[in-house]
């Protein structure tokens, strides 16, 4: 950039698609590289601990101010800043507003944008539509886990929650385990279930896909289970539940959302893997006590159990340690892996940087001017 003039590249959703945001294989490779950089410490996220998920604005149940929004399902604003080093060497922030009532207006639950910034000056480099980007990086993160933990001959998949996250999680499964033959789907509503099944039939005509009535049916005999269902938080007893006897030996169960297991299984027999243990430590610090009541991901409950003295930190593995060879991919034969995915802004920075650089090479997007020279300096 020729300072003091500042321009940035604007990428709308169509631009993002043209620049390769839907390249799942490439996204999985990018996430794997990102995790390795994180393991050696070449990153920063928000907060004094450098590992905060982000800063959230939530609304009260009632307000004396008529213009102020009030609380509702998933109604919030959130800023998620990060820096990622290595070949990415990029700073930025994902910003979004979320409201389940958006569906009534034909909008996605969350509307997301990503800004990439020059690490030295802070000047914007790109401003991009981030809904598809976020969905794909969210699917690619479990994809890294499927690549390492799922059996090479995995054939059967169970899906809990037929939404966008399950579409991208499935895309990741198919990218790393193309021999999958059967997909069982558990949903709450007939319309969303049928929509998901029709999507799978169109995208993966080689597989047998069908709906099931219970979580147990989705889990039994499945080599891979993806739990991506939205659930009201607060009472863990209401979170989706998986019993130990339903799980196939050697199965991988990924969770990007609420999920519950029996404590005896978690403490003594499961292999617990987290995408970034420090993220869960940060949540435990920020949300204590009982962080699991607010953030319903299995590894958050593990951190609660550690805080209560019922488990120790060496009972949860960090994905980065596995990727760089500090610990084995499998600790024992036919272990059941519970893989928790918390979601982090470094993921958006990583994949956003790749897509941005693709756009530059392909001359995609619109150049917008911030200023020729700043009028106040």
What's the pLDDT at 48?
Answer: 87
- Residue 376 covered by a domain: no
Do 185 and 321 fall into the same domain? Answer: yes
In a domain, 248, yes or no: yes
Do 123 and 148 belong to one domain? no
3-state DSSP call for residue 361? helix
Contact 92, 116 (CB under 8 A): yes
Task: Report the pLDDT value the prediction gives residue 318, as an integer from 0 to 100.
Answer: 96
- Token pair 């917008």: residue: 368
**Any idea what the Cα angle at residue 238 is, between residues 74 and 146, rounded to 5°?**
75
Q: What is the pLDDT of residue 120?
A: 96
Q: What is the DSSP string of 275-336?
A: S-HHHHHHHHHHH-S-GGGTS--HHHHHHHHHHTTSS-GGGEEEHHHHHTTSS-S-SSTTPP
What confidence score (pLDDT) does residue 231 get? 81
Q: How many CB atoms lie within 10 A of CB 298?
A: 27
Q: In CATH, what number is assigned to the domain containing residue 44?
A: 3.30.1780.10
For the chain, the domain total comes to: 2
Tokens describing residue 232: 């009201």
pLDDT of residue 35: 97
At 155, give phi and psi (nearest 5°).
-120, -30
**Burial environment of residue 325 by CB neighbours within 10 A (0 to 12, 13 to 18, 19 or more):** exposed
Q: What is the mean pLDDT of each run of 10 residues along the chain (377 residues)?
A: 92 98 98 97 93 91 95 92 98 95 92 97 98 96 97 97 93 97 93 94 96 97 93 88 97 94 97 94 87 93 95 96 96 96 95 98 98 92
Contact 200, 194 (CB under 8 A): no
Domain range holding 288? 139-344
244 and 169 inside one domain: yes
For the stretch 169-188, what's the b/e string if a residue is b when 16 or more beta carbons lie within 10 angstroms of its beta carbon?
bbbbbbbbbeebeebbbbbe
Q: Which two tokens stand for residue 340?
A: 């928790």
């Amino acid at each position: 950039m020729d300072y003091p003039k500042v321009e940035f590249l604007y990428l709308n959703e169509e631009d993002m698609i043209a620049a390769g945001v839907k390249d799942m294989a490439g996204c999985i490779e990018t996430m794997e590289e990102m995790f390795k950089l994180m393991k050696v410490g070449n990153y920063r996220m928000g907060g004094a601990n450098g590992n905060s998920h982000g800063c959230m604005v939530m609304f009260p149940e009632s307000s004396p101010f008529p213009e102020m929004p009030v609380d509702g399902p998933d109604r919030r604003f959130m800023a998620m800043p990060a820096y990622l080093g290595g070949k990415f060497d990029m700073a930025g922030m994902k910003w979004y507003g979320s409201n389940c009532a958006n569906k009534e207006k034909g909008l996605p639950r969350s509307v997301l944008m990503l800004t990439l910034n020059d690490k030295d000056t802070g000047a914007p480099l790109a401003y991009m539509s981030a809904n598809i980007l976020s969905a794909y990086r969210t699917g690619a993160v479990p994809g890294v886990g499927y690549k390492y933990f799922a059996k090479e001959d995995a054939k059967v998949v169970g899906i809990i929650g037929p939404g966008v996250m399950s579409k991208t999680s499935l895309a990741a499964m198919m990218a790393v385990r193309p021999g999958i033959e059967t997909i069982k789907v558990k949903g709450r509503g007939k319309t969303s279930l049928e929509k998901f099944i029709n999507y799978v039939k169109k995208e993966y005509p080689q597989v047998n896909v069908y709906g099931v009535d219970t979580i147990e049916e989705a889990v039994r005999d499945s080599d891979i289970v993806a739990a991506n269902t939205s659930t009201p938080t607060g009472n863990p007893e209401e979170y989706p539940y998986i019993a130990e006897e339903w799980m196939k030996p050697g199965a991988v169960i990924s969770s990007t959302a609420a999920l519950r297991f029996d404590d005896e299984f978690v403490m003594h027999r499961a292999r617990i893997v987290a995408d970034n243990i420090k993220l869960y430590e940060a949540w435990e610090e920020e949300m204590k006590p009982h962080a699991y009541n607010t953030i319903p991901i299995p590894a958050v409950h593990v951190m609660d159990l550690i805080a209560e003295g019922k488990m120790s930190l060496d009972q949860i593995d960090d994905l980065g340690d596995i990727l760089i060879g500090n610990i084995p991919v499998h600790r024992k034969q036919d272990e059941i892996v519970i893989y928790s995915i918390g979601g982090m802004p470094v993921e958006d920075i990583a994949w956003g940087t790749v897509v941005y650089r693709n756009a530059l090479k392909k001359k995609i997007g619109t150049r917008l001017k911030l200023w020729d020279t700043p009028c106040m300096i």
